[in-house]
Amino acid sequence: MERVFVFRTERRWDGADAWEPGPWLRVGIERDERPPLDRLGWRTYDGAEAAVGFRAAMEGFYGHYRAADGAPAEYRGELERCEAVQEAAVHRFRTQESQGADWQAAGDWWLLLEDGDAHVERLDWHDRAGASGSITLRATFTEPDGTREVTALVCTVRAHHEYEAVGEIADNLLNDTHAKWLGDWRTGAWLKFRLVRPTFVQYYVLASANDCPDRDPTAWTLYGSNDGRRWTALDSRTGEVFTGRHQPRGFAVTGTAGVGYRHYCLEITANAGAEHVQLSQVRLFDTGPVAAYTGFFGYRRRAGQSPSGFRGTPPASAPEGAGLRTVEEWRAYLSDYSADIIRVTQGRELWNVSDEQRAAGWLGYEGASEERLAALEERLGTRLPPSYRAFLGASDGWLRLSSFMWEMRTTDTVAWLTETDAALADFYDEDDEEGAVLGRSLLISQEGDAQYWLLDPGDVSDDGEWAAYIWASWYPGLGERHASFAELVRAERAVFERLEGHRGHGVHPEGAEDLVAQGREQALRGEAEQALASFERAAVKGSGVGMYLKTILGAFLDLGSAHHEIRNNVFGRDHVIAAIGEDQVRAEALPLYLRRTVEEHGPLVGLPRLEILGRLVPELGFSAGESNDDWIDRAAAHVPPRLPEPPAFQQALDLARSLAARGDDEEAWAVVEAALPHWHSDDPHRIAPVILLTDPVLRGVVTPHRAQLMVRIPRGKALGGDTRC
């Protein structure tokens, strides 16, 4: 089978007369046998089960279904289309077969089964030639992260009814709070979401509200549309149950075929019996949970043959940190790392590095002999993990292995943490998981910036590697777990490169300008998160422009922390001001910083940066003995210079100001929103009209949510169709 079969389905619940639309079913199983499937059964991880029989050539099916809560239903489907296999969607395995104790390679195998519920846990099949099989799958699941959430693209949400007087309105569904939407229930209800641009929604989450379980939706259909009039059914649910309050439940959309829509409608067709219907949150994602299948086992039977054992594992992939397991690999890696550190680090920061080491480009020492390594292992009473043992063989000790680790221990000084004078005794609590790790860890670092590097012999991988941690005074406990010492070193090297790049000392500066250009194009297309990532990558390469644009874009996405980011990333970075120019900093970053500082009535930028303010705007200089309140009053009265705007946008801006001055904030926002798609600038250092965040007349118009929407609306040459919400 080289295709995925997509079926439109229906269910008729036990005791009901009518068939109801069900989620789409996608089926694909790669087998040695080519005949079409005759029967298929499966169980998902949430406990739902189904068994179906197919018509000839899999043109349709009939069977039965049992929901996770035990409700039974008849189940039928008609073939809608066949899709080409998408590599990212299918699960691949290297398989083996056995007749007794001996296992033999049986080739690669893949499967895909999505029925709108959880991922498949058990699968049984039979084809028209008589071949069959049954397997149980092992899996771990990862919910889609925030980078795949598209809820922030929603510019308006409307409901058939809401209780505005008590604040239980549809807008609450977009907030990560316990506030809810409540509406009357008669014969149905609906929620309509309009997005700033067509968006592919593949997964959505509904969260129950705080009280009255009989108000929970139990049946609904999700529709998509690009004009708000003609709707396409994307996902239908019946017999759904929320078992707790504020319970989020996720649902896969399997019928969109990759189509993006500007409008989405959740039509609720049944609730649990009350006279009202409610939800506390709706979230939209462009991808669903990721199932990482770690393998399967079971049997398969070829036509006319006895059954054989059948098992599979995912194709092996090299883990992060792989390759640093020999002395030669470490020598090459450390030589390259040393060269980077010596090249970009200021001399005063390498205070413990000798002139000979600088000249040699090697921040380490002679490698430990096999005899020294064996003596260390005898003293510790255990074999060292492979990557750390090879590291010592390449260099017995090291200087500057990260920005905050200045010296590593040698074979003479490596010791169990409890046998050293490391000031961590108060944290050894065997009843606490982290305390137990500390109590058994090997201390491999000597001197650092209030941190210790540890290896845990109680957490060992199949290839003998020990988990590695950093304990630091600025962590709430142990830092991130790393699978090996090699992985920890790689991670800390990435931190070193990021910190140096942010200071303007890019370790690998090549490609920074291309990343800035890419980020600008993404920003103008409204792809804010993607642009933020591109600007950050450019900043890591030392680009001051990348750092500045990352900070400005971030201000739209998180207005509340804008002054902190500007203080650290602009005022605190001479290379950023040099790259952008003081005029633009005065017109954009400075007024945005002043706005947020005044609103928070917060402290000044800190004495080390006061001269920056005095240089940019002399009248804002801070005098000796002056109170913070006096400076805040002067900052609030400051009128910044303005950058030129396109004539049509400037006219809209003037109109919005006049409307806002009269108190017509909603009309003012409508004017701004309609004008944003036509904003453009020939200045490559501008990606959005920051004046909308800094103009005091528009403070009530541009809410934090609207600020986020503004950078998600395509602008200028990136404009593609109507984007007004």
| Amino acid at the residue 65 | Y
Q: In this structure, is the dihedral angle defined by the CA atoms of residues 386, 388, 394 and 396, taken in order, positive or negative?
A: negative
Q: Give the highest mean pLDDT range of 47-61, 344-358, 613-627.
A: 47-61
Instruction: Give the mean pLDDT of the chain.
Output: 90
Q: Per mean pLDDT, which range of 212-221, 269-278, 456-465, 615-624 is the poorest?
A: 615-624
With CA atoms as reference, report the closest residue to 144 among 244, 246, 289, 249: 289
DSSP one-letter code for 450 = S
Question: How many CB atoms are located within 10 Å of the residue 548 CB?
Answer: 28
**H or E segment and range at residue 592:** helix 590-600
pTM for the structure as a whole: 0.78
Question: Does the structure show a pLDDT above 50 at 725?
Answer: no
Q: Residue for token digits 């997964």?
A: 203
Tokens 């490596």, residue located: 414
CA 390 to chain centre: 34
Round to whole Å and give the CA distance between 104 and 95.
9
What are the C-alpha distances in Å from 720 to residues 20, 232, 388, 526?
Answer: 37, 22, 54, 11
Residue 636 tokens read as 């609030």
User: Is residue 291 scored above 80 in pLDDT?
Assistant: no
Rama region for 249: left / alpha / beta (φ>0; ψ in -120 to 50; rest): beta
Residue type (1 letter), 202: Q
Would you state the structure tokens that stand for residue 32, as one six-digit string? 């040695």
Question: Cα dist. 81→3, 60, 63, 110, 211 in Å?
Answer: 10, 11, 20, 20, 42
Q: Whole-angstrom Cα distance, residue 104 to residue 433? A: 41
Q: What is the predicted pLDDT for the residue at 724?
A: 45
Q: Each residue of 234-281: pLDDT tens digit? A: 888 988 999 999 999 999 886 655 678 999 999 999 999 999 999 999
C-alpha 79: how far from chain center: 35
Strand, helix or coil for residue 363: coil
Tokens of 519: 């980020």
Whether the CB-CB separation of 307 and 130 falls below 8 Å is answered with no
**Is it the case that residue 404 has pLDDT exceeding 60?**
yes
Residue type for position 27: V
Q: What single DSSP character describes residue 670? A: H
Tokens of 281: 């949150």
Contact 197, 720 (CB under 8 A): yes
* Nearest Cα to Cα of residue 550 among 575, 577, 570: 570
Return the axis-axis angle of helices 386-394 and 370-380, rounded to nearest 10°: 140
Please give the pLDDT value at position 421: 80
- With H, G, I as helix, E, B as strand and everything else as coil, classify residue 617: coil
Query: Which H, E and C letters describe 191-248, residue by residue?
Result: EEEEEEEEECCCEEEEECCCCCHHHCEEEEEEEEECCCCCCEEEEEECCCCCCCCCCE
Other CB atoms within 10 Å distance of the CB of residue 352: 12
Tokens of 409: 């221990």
The counts of H helices and E strands in the chain are: 19, 29
Which structure tokens are listed for 162? Answer: 């809401």
Q: Cβ of 351: how many Cβ atoms within 10 Å?
A: 7
Ranking 301-305, 472-476, 565-569, 650-654 by mean pLDDT, the lowest is 472-476
Nearest in space to 246 (alpha carbons), one of 273, 203, 211: 211
- 631 versus 410: the higher-pLDDT residue is 410
Question: Each residue of 509-553: pLDDT tens digit?
Answer: 999 999 999 999 999 999 999 999 999 999 999 999 999 999 999
Euclidean distance between CA atoms 627 and 634, whole angstroms: 11
Share of the chain above pLDDT 90, in %: 68
User: Could you give the maximum distance between any two Cα atoms of the chain, in Å?
Assistant: 96
pLDDT, tens only, 10-31: 999 999 999 988 888 999 888 6
Cα angle at 561 between 557 and 565, to 5 degrees?
95
CB atoms within 10 A of CB 64: 16
pLDDT in the model for residue 722: 44
Which residue from 71, 146, 80 is spatially nearest to 533, judged by alpha carbons?
146
The alpha carbon torsion through 534, 539, 543, 548 (nearest 10 deg) reads 90
Residue 293 to residue 591: CA distance in whole angstroms:
51
CA–CA distance, 610 with 679 (Å, rounded to integer): 34
Q: Which amino acid would we find at residue 195? A: L
Report whether pLDDT(697) > 70. Answer: yes
d(CA 174, CA 192): 12
CA distance 371 to 348: 37
Q: Does 622 have pLDDT greater than 70? A: no
**Structure tokens that stand for 415 in this block:** 């010791």
- Alpha carbon distance 388, 365 (integer Å): 15
| 44 pLDDT higher than 50 | yes
Residue 581: partners with Cβ closer than 8 Å, 6 or more residues away: 685
DSSP 497-514: HHHHHHTT--SS-TTHHH
Structure tokens at 133: 């099989």
Q: Which of 100, 77, 87 is nearest to 28 (CA)?
A: 87
Nearest to 317 by CA among 292, 337, 338: 292
CA R_g for the chain: 31
